[in-house]
Amino acid sequence: MPSPQALSVRSMLQQLRASQNPAEQSLEAQRSGLDQMGQTIPKPDHVLVERTSFDGVPGEWISIAGAPTERVILYLHGGAYYMGSCESHRSLAWRLAEASEARIALVEYRLAPEHRFPAAVEDAVKAYKSLLAQGIEPNRIAIAGDSAGGGLTMATLISLRDEGTSLPACAALLSPWTDLAGTGPSMESRAPYDPWLEPEGIRKAPLLYCSPDQLTHPLVSPLYADLAGLPPVLIHVGRDECLLDDSVRLYDKIREAGGEAQLHIWEDMWHVFHSFPIPEADEALREIGTFIQRRIPR
């Protein structure tokens, strides 16, 4: 049974979706709306934020006062590749920093449609390499991301593997968007239960980022990639989201390729529920934090 807080947020999301038509909103309005949603959890004083650049990719170092900083998470925000920023994801990042006892490199990769594929992948790879250039060992780094950032996390791992760069210790994916072609059965079967996303919007958004013939490119939709030789991956997804099968099929493919993967399907939850001030999100972030700590021990 979902918590009262989760039921309240679900109702809010349903009302928001009913009152807003993304097709009628400007990009600026959609970006501003996501930024505002990300600011609903105030930042505590013990959370430290330092604006910086990761080899030209803007972002922030987010850390917890007095906490060790040897464990690093490169975090790639969601937002369908055309929204998202440090403003929209800072609260999720500092909560993950607490749960994992790590500092977070939260980056702002270039967004579509101003910068289309492969700009986001190039920036994520560049940000990861900047961490290595700072002397951070790859076995002290995790990569994590939600939604489009989850798909981008996979694309980054694939790119690093293919070019022979040392891979991070592990990766965590929060409701990853891994099939921009939108072929998963859950796109339709879970639509009646999804309080936030709907199939039509999910299938339109990718065309801001890539051309129709690129929808199944392995760095656009990692579900179609060779997934062998990657570090351990933890995948979280809500049972009630249209993108459920983006996670389930990715998990199956990683395992089929001989990789290590864990999949947790959260009952009664929606897309990137981790972002919201609900007990289920706190529990999920603790699980991610434990996963990362076990693979990057002190």
**In this predicted model, what pLDDT tens digit does every residue of 242-284 receive, in sequence order?**
999 999 999 999 999 999 999 999 999 999 999 999 999 999 9
Among 87, 98, 108, 241, the active-site one is 241
Omega cis (within 30) before 58: no
What is the tens place of the pLDDT at every residue in 111-149?
999 999 999 999 999 999 999 999 999 999 999 999 999
Give me the sign of the Cα torsion angle 33, 30, 238, 233. negative
Greater model confidence, 39 or 112: 112
What is the tens place of the pLDDT at every residue in 86-109?
999 999 999 999 999 999 999 999
Among 77, 89, 236, 271, the active-site one is 271
Amino acid identity at 206: P
Amino acid identity at 196: W
Look at residue 23 in the predicted model and tell me its pLDDT. 66
Q: Hey, what are 229's tokens? A: 């030789």
Residues 207/214, Cβ–Cβ less than 8 Å: no
**CB proximity list for 113: less than 8 A, separation 6 or greater:** 27, 82, 208, 209
- Place 178 in a pLDDT band, splitting at 50, 70 and 90: very high
Q: How far is CA 224 from the centre of its chain?
A: 18
Rounded mean pLDDT of 228-253? 98
- Place 40 in a pLDDT band, splitting at 50, 70 and 90: confident
234, containing H or E segment = strand 233-238
CATH code, 167: 3.40.50.1820
Rounded mean pLDDT of 173-201? 96
Average pLDDT, the chain: 96
- Does 241 participate in catalysis according to the annotation? yes
Rounded mean pLDDT of 163-181? 98
Q: Hey, what are 248's tokens? A: 């389930």
Q: Name the DSSP class of 232.
A: -
DSSP-based helix, strand, coil % in the chain, nearest 5: 45, 15, 40
Look at residue 133 in the predicted model and tell me its pLDDT. 98
Look at residue 16 in the predicted model and tell me its pLDDT. 87
Among 147, 175, 186, 221, the active-site one is 147
Look at residue 21 in the predicted model and tell me its pLDDT. 72
Q: How many separate domains does the chain show?
A: 1
Domain ranges, residue 185? 4-19+27-295
Asked whether the predicted pLDDT for residue 22 surpasses 80, the reply is no
Tell me the C-alpha distance between 30 and 202, whole Å. Answer: 14
